[in-house]
Amino acid sequence: AQAVHPGYGFLSERAAFAEAVKTAGAIFVGPHADSIRSMGDKLEAKRLMKLMGVPLLPGTEGGVKDFSDAKAAADRIGYPVLLKASAGGGGKGMRIVRKAGELQAALEGAAREAKSYFGDGTVYIEKYLENPHHIEVQVVGDGQGGGGHVFDRECSIQRRHQKLVEESPAPLLSRHSKSKTKILDVATQVVERMKYANAGTLEFLGDDEGGFYFLEMNTRLQVEHPVTEWVTGLDLVERQIRVADGERLKTGALVDAQRGHSIEVRVYAETPFDYLPTGGRVHALQLPVGPFVRVDSSIYGGYDVPTEYDPTLMKLSVWGATREESVERLRGALDELRILGVQNNQGLFWAITREKNFKDGNYGTPYLEKNRDELKRLYNAELARLMPAAVLGAVESLRMPALLATSGGTALSAWEQASRRGQLRGELS
């Protein structure tokens, strides 16, 4: 092979893998190993960002040595605080501590989890914001100081510190235009000063007043990159390959503006409100179709979903000229989606797209906890509404192969299936 693209899995942020690819004489389609290493260590990343003048939350400059050290730091910072694994990400090795009596157990649990997942039990402490927004800036650099931002995303709807819904532009920054300009400028400066190569994402915590603080940098293409592609027209994987092949970039924004609005949801094989893994066999699958709808998935009818690995069944993303249109299109796509045989969290997204705070773009990372009862009510109401169509759709999906075998017919095209589903919904509504 001439080049290796690591995707966004385990190897994508392993400096040793990037070095091994280079040693083998191939091109690594990703950042330089030293960037992966420095940004992978969260404490080192914070140190570098502090030198560049990037805003940081109050916190420890290194890992805490023991409980006594942790208690002194937490008392100085002020509760609530967040314990975080220095070597980690994806919500592992993280604990929220709201009062001193919870600190020791939380510290032991975070260190144990960090050691188990990352081989390093180092934990540091920073101030916890009560209603934070998770804001990201996509960046691409050419490794020579050229490059910059590809605008912003908001990923505040999370469970267990892992993202479920992503959208671009970020609703928070749409309300704070000056903060948006600043955060995009900061991201471009980081790319320029680091001489960053290839795609990456700077993550920030934002508050309701428009303040923002550096969280971490992911030195890879993010799972949620489709929403950025929708609103910019860029193919980020193509751009990764071009940069890896030596393409130079001008400094600054890679595109002039965002166009419209995009939202993505991650459909997981898990219960919608308790987030428990399910697994099983996909007996029948019906995907949404039509303009401005995208499905990234590899599952199919007959696919066995394991419980031992990542629960992602698919990423479903849509685009609309406005955020309201995007929400409406996502709602329609979710109505068309059918996954039979594996319990999943599709119903949670039915509820979210109908809940007022989400529709208004007014939410932070505690969204699921704060709105749990209302989301359950909306879920049950939507389930009752869709049940007749779901039953008929399931019968049609299961009967179709047998009907085709006996009649010698051919399967309907995606457009014909979409038309039939639309007619069915009209008859049942």
Active site residues: 220
Question: What is the Cα–Cα distance from 165 to 167, expressed in whole angstroms?
Answer: 7
Q: How many CA atoms lie within 13 A of 265 on its CB side?
A: 24
- Mapped onto helix, strand or coil, the DSSP state of residue 241 is helix
- The answer to whether 263 and 167 have CB atoms below 8 angstroms apart is yes
Token pair recorded at residue 419? 């038309």
Peptide bond into 80 cis (omega under 30): yes
Residue 9: name the closest of 320, 312, 419, 213 by CA: 312
Residue 145: name the closest of 239, 248, 298, 66 by CA: 248
Rounded alpha-carbon distances, angstroms, from residue 102 to 84, 133, 233: 15, 24, 47
DSSP structure class, residue 129: P
Rounded alpha-carbon distances, angstroms, from residue 117 to 96, 269, 277, 309, 315: 19, 22, 19, 14, 25
**162, containing H or E segment:** strand 162-168
152: CB partners within 8 A, 6+ apart: 135, 136, 137, 138, 168, 169, 170, 173, 180, 183, 184
Helices marked H in 245-371: 323-336, 346-352, 356-359, 367-370
308: CB partners within 8 A, 6+ apart: none
Whole-number CA gyration radius for the chain: 23
- Mapped onto helix, strand or coil, the DSSP state of residue 148 is strand
DSSP structure class, residue 12: G
Strand partners, 294: 317
- The answer to whether 234 and 219 have CB atoms below 8 angstroms apart is no
